[in-house]
Chains A and B, each alone.
Chain A
Amino acid sequence: MKKIHKSNLLTTILCTLIVGVSLYFLYDVFYFQTYGTKTYYDYLLSINSPECKLSNFQLFKDQSNYYCGDGTLTLGAIDTLQIGQEYTISFVLKSEGKNYAVDYPIIYDSDCTYSLDNNDIRKDLKSIDSIKLNIVDSNNDIVYSKKVKQHAIQAIYCFNKEYRIENACISKDFMRLGYLTTTNEDIIQQYPYISLEYRYLKDEKGDEEDDNNYVVFKKISGLSKDYVNIQNYETYEHDQESRGSLLDKKLSVVIIFSNEKGETFTFKMDFTNEAGE
């Protein structure tokens, strides 16, 4: 090998080593920035009818997690069902033209609430087109059927040093309000009454400190012991067509604790898209 070739080779190898070492040390940052977690779907399922109420049932899949369930189903008086009989609640998930069932066996009783646990038998489905709820009797006949409403949701977070709204999420026309948790448990004895006012900013350019610049879309009042550190989920259906998408709104909540003496403790917290501790 000629001398000039040797020096060229050495210079190129040196440059390659520098670039190679940079590639090695920057790989983690590159991977983190490039390959984010892919969420296949995230739905909150609901049925709101007098004879059947489904709430808090989540259907979620990303590259490493899957949930299907963790909700409750309340069945009212349904003519086609007989009290004391065994039935199967079957969620029929339609994916790519095929139907897949997720079953929960129950014994029917009027006005009974059933807890639907997490069930991962359909975790391989990568998309969900529509969902139907069927109640099937022991002869495999469908005795009740209802279309399930799917809300494509995203998680939102709301917290300060002592208080946090857990498991809140929104879609364009729906919000699961979450529930209040606190590290200060004395607040329940000190202030037995609570009021939570969920609101959004009316005019984004307006004064954020002005209370008249907010639309209160949901107000919850009750005993502190029923709403603090208790998984008591409530939902809100939003009229997207006349009021615009909830996803574009700046959401916040005003929490008012009060007692019999007329003393109050009020504070507000903003909802954000970023989780924090």
Chain B
Amino acid sequence: MTEKERNETPVLETRGLGISFGGLQAVSDFDIKIYKGELIGLIGPNGAGKTTVFNMLTGVYKPTEGTVYLDGNALNGKKPYEFVSAGVARTFQNIRLFKDMSVIDNVKAACTKDITYNLFDATFQTKKYWEAEQAVEDRAHELLKIVNLDDKASWKASNLPYGAQRKLEIARALGTNMKILLLDEPAAGMNPTETDELLSCINTIREKFGIAILLIEHDMSLVMKVCERIKVIDYGQTIAYGLPEEIANDKRVIAAYLGT
């Protein structure tokens, strides 16, 4: 392990995380520590269990072993929305936008948990309601600017081109005010130009919010370019963890990708 220990609580930490589906061990002993501002890559061949890890980190699946800690607090048995409240946000491998809502409403919907007005305020449109709505509107525009979608704010989400939909998912995830962002193959299906745009977008997000990011990606050049450290899993087991250049030369990783 080349991980340099830091003198702070990691934003996200897992200890011995594992899950089995009806006797089939999909992931086992998954340990990771992600500190503030870091960008970690999670790679592995198809079916290695990467998305399963994401699903455990966001509460969609209940891990059968181990624990997820966020800022040192265990998140055992919490529901997905409680994971989000704690500060974990994600995007999906196959795009899951609110497709019949407008682009800006997609982002606004993700801000719901931070809006505090109640049914009374909404019905009688009190001062509190207008203040909150104005704040959300401004915030949503700001986030859409980061992903260059502000000019399409009133579009229906399903009418956006593919690359833009992926970026909207990221903007929506940002709307939740997270501490760590999990990106599940954000560049999948993108052409090189779109991938470059995405890269600059990710960099802007890191500069602006200083959050931690965990990234699943198949595009090796992208992973090698942006990630500070990379974790490789295969058949649910961690087979390597280290700096990009170490991973590129790791025998087990090469074997897993090319077959032995």
A, B: real partners: no
Enumerate chain B interface residues (CB-CB to A < 8 A).
Answer: none
Residues of A in contact with B (beta carbons under 8 Å apart): none
